[in-house]
Amino acid sequence: MADTFRCGYAALIGRPNTGKSTLLNRILGQKISITSRRPQTTRHRVLGIKTTDSAQLIYVDTPGIHEFNGRAMNRHLNRAAGSVLMDVDVIVFLVDGLRWTADDELVLSKLSTVKCPVILAVNKIDQLEDRETLLPGLQALALKREFREIIPISATRGDNVPALEACIESLLPVSPPYFPADQVTDRSERFLVAELVREKLFRKLARELPYGLTVEIESFKRERNITHIHALIWVERASQKSIVIGKQGRLLKEVGQQARRDIESLLGCKVNLKLWVKVKEGWADDERALRSLGYTDHD
């Protein structure tokens, strides 16, 4: 390994729905973090690891930081995002185009004590109605704090993402790699499978069940050419159970079909996926229930 090889951690932070998970998937060239149009889709810290000839960049995708609304799930999301800020080498602060909100201000306030370099990534520039607003908009953002760089990007299209990666790499310490070159995440297959099921549910039920839903893998068994997976979908109220199942079970069947295709792509084999829906009253506002379902502050 050359003595110029760099390795380190880069946190992707920002308010909900700024494109952190989309950016991570774009950089890695595969889906590691699930995405939907709903805020707070990301609920856990997820590592995405990219190894090149010159560096190993370890990205930390975090839940969106947002104004606290009193629920245990919201406390978990903010803690999970905020706890990484002191443990990384670079922070990439994503904002949604030139829109600046109270939640962006909240993220900015959390950066006031960090000592590592902060890059401002202005995402979704492909959605700007008037491109002439970009330069004055970037100049206004530059006044918010001293950023190491301000880089406009489109995570969806990949515009300027290589420039962002090069900037991050230049700020990492010289170090041998921490992970094997072929490893792309620290998460288990069981975790990724649960997330893929949850993604399909979020996309299907964005309005009906924004937050009161989670997925737990009950069993995961590999046979020769097929993997058998039983997944439990937990909702908060009995009335939500019928919504998830849908009329004559159609919605749950659609979710299962869509998730199975992605899971087969992930695992590289045939998958037999069985889904059940169960009720755990008020789980998203119960710290103990959250922990039992895998929502921990270091997670």
Domain ranges of the chain: 6-170, 189-292
Q: How far apart are the first and last CA of the chain?
A: 31
pLDDT at 208: 66
Is domain 189-292 given the CATH code 3.40.50.920 in the classification?
no
Looking up tokens 């994503």 gives: 94
pLDDT at 95: 94
Q: What are all long-range contacts of 222-225, with beta carbons under 8 Å and residues at least 24 apart?
A: 222/269, 225/269, 225/270
pLDDT at 229: 95
Q: Which CATH number fits domain 6-170: 3.90.420.10, 1.10.3720.10, 3.30.420.40, 3.40.50.300?
A: 3.40.50.300
pLDDT at 299: 46
Strand partners for 200: none
User: Starting from the edge strand earliest in sequence, which strands make up the sheet with 213-222, in order?
Assistant: 213-222, 226-235, 270-279
Looking up tokens 């010289």 gives: 174
The C-alpha atoms of residue 245 and residue 241 are separated, in whole angstroms, by 6
Torsion of CA 36, 38, 40, 46, to 10 degrees: 0
Q: Is the pTM of this model over 0.85?
A: no
Angle between helices 189-204 and 250-267 (to 10 degrees): 140
CA 243 from centre of chain: 25
pLDDT at 191: 84
pLDDT at 266: 85
Strand partners for 112: none
The C-alpha atoms of residue 79 and residue 95 are separated, in whole angstroms, by 20
Spatial contact of 56 and 179, defined as CB atoms under 8 Å apart: yes
pLDDT at 67: 55
Print pLDDT tens along the chain (299 aa): 558 999 999 999 888 888 888 899 899 888 777 555 555 555 556 788 999 999 999 998 876 664 555 555 455 455 554 556 778 899 999 999 888 999 899 889 888 888 899 999 999 999 887 778 889 999 999 999 999 999 999 999 999 999 999 999 999 999 999 999 988 888 888 888 888 898 888 888 866 665 667 888 899 999 888 999 999 888 888 888 888 888 888 999 999 999 999 999 888 899 999 999 988 776 666 556 555 555 554 44
Spatial contact of 154 and 125, defined as CB atoms under 8 Å apart: yes
Angle between helices 20-28 and 161-170 (to 10 degrees): 90
